[in-house]
Amino acid sequence: MRKNGPTIGDVAALAEVSRATVSRVMNGSTTVDPGIAERVRSAAASLNYRPSNLARSLSLGRTGTVAVSVPDLRNPMLHAVLQGVTEAAERDGYHLLVSIAGEDIAAEEAHFLDARQRCDGLILINPRGPQEQLRAVLQQAAPAVVVNRETSTLPAPCLSIDHQYGLTLLIEHLVSLGHRHLAYVAGPQGAVSDPPRRRAVSAALDTHPQLRIDIVDGGRDVFDGRRAAESAVSTGATGVLVFNDLVAVGLLARLHELGVDVPGEVSVTGFDDIDLSHCSFPALTTVGVPHHDLGRAAWAEMAALLREPGVDRRTVRSFRPQLVLRESTEQVPA
């Protein structure tokens, strides 16, 4: 079993001190004779010794890292969130450990707990799976923070983007431009952010009795957008609300091929304000989403939990998107 690197014992032997002393030196204890300390340091250096994180964590009862679980990495929205979390965590001296849950929703629970056990905490981003299961996981995984899940009083802090508000912003914008018939190109099956948008649609229909909104199948990527283009226009809508910017870009491309003028004949909106929405033809009206802030806030919650273990915080906070007007929307033609 000893094919691994040098252990604290080897260093102790070489420096002719006890393991306890080596430990003290490695952890920068001041109560060590400078001469001895130096001897230990050079022994460690010459052996190329690195303390085992595993053993250290086991003994210390903490690892200095927290796990972030994401469903899959294709969603560009995740990168901004991850970026935010990483930066904040780094500042607090914590490492992040991204674990990709993968397609298999059934295996998700095991994945979560596995990741959690190597770390001091768990941040779940866009967790899928039934409410009950999530609840159970959260119980065992504390401290945990949930990002972007419909919050129905889960036993953990829940942060999310207010997708309903975002879509409402876009709908109101189109309505104010005179549109009375819209289409919503929906997200993929099981997307956590789809239901709130559908709620925005319902709410808008209540608010504006003369408004009509058809829902058509969409998806998550540019190809889904291409495919949805024809169904969307065939509804006769003058405004198309698309699940996100990526899908919208695909849809715009197809509309272009079909010779449908945007925004002349139909207006199109996206969601997320990704870089690309500047570069589509025409540039995309969308809502900007504070993913980065969301990430930072998620870390803040985690940091708080780490600081005072035991307390069960249940902060619920949602972040509001902002309208970003570009060329893809305009008055409905008379």
- By a kind-dependent CB cut-off of 5 to 8 A, residue 17 interacts, out of its own copies, DNA, none, with DNA
Phi, psi of 216 (to 5 degrees): -125, 155
Question: What is the enclosing helix (H) or strand (E) of 287?
Answer: strand 286-288
Q: How far is the CB of 98 from DNA (least distance, A)?
A: 25
Q: How far is the CB of 9 from its own copies (least distance, A)?
A: 15
Q: Of 188, 183, 201, which is closest to residue 268 (Cα–Cα)?
A: 183
Residue 144 contacts residue 122 (beta carbons within 8 Å): yes
Q: In this complex, which beta carbon is closest to DNA, that of residue 58 or of residue 107? A: 58
- By a kind-dependent CB cut-off of 5 to 8 A, residue 226 interacts, out of its own copies, DNA, none, with its own copies
Report the SS3 class of residue 74.
coil
Angle at 184 between CA 181 and CA 187, to 5 degrees: 180
Site residues (CB under 7 A) for DNA?
1-2, 4, 7-9, 16-24, 26-27, 30-33, 35-37, 49-52, 54-56, 58-61
- By a kind-dependent CB cut-off of 5 to 8 A, residue 276 interacts, out of its own copies, DNA, none, with its own copies
Q: How far is the CB of 40 from its own copies (least distance, A)?
A: 19
String of b and e for 73-102 (b: at least 16 CB within 10 Å)? eebebbebbbebbbebbeeeebebebbebe
Q: In this complex, which beta carbon is closest to DNA, that of residue 18 or of residue 202? A: 18
Site residues (CB under 8 A) for its own copies?
1, 3-5, 48, 50, 52-55, 57-58, 61, 63, 65, 72-74, 76, 78-79, 82-83, 86, 90, 95-100, 102, 111, 113-115, 117-118, 140, 221-223, 225-226, 249-250, 252-253, 256, 275-276, 278-281, 309-310
- By a kind-dependent CB cut-off of 5 to 8 A, residue 72 interacts, out of its own copies, DNA, none, with its own copies
Q: In this complex, which beta carbon is closest to its own copies, that of residue 127 or of residue 196? A: 127
Q: How far is the CB of 44 from DNA (least distance, A)?
A: 10
Q: How far is the CB of 28 from DNA (least distance, A)?
A: 10
Q: How far is the CB of 13 from DNA (least distance, A)?
A: 11
Q: Which residue has the tokens 């708080």?
A: 304
* Exposed/middle/buried for residue 133 (C-beta within 10 Å: 0-12, 13-18, 19+): middle
Q: What is the 8-class DSSP label of residue 313?
A: -
* Exposed/middle/buried for residue 145 (C-beta within 10 Å: 0-12, 13-18, 19+): buried
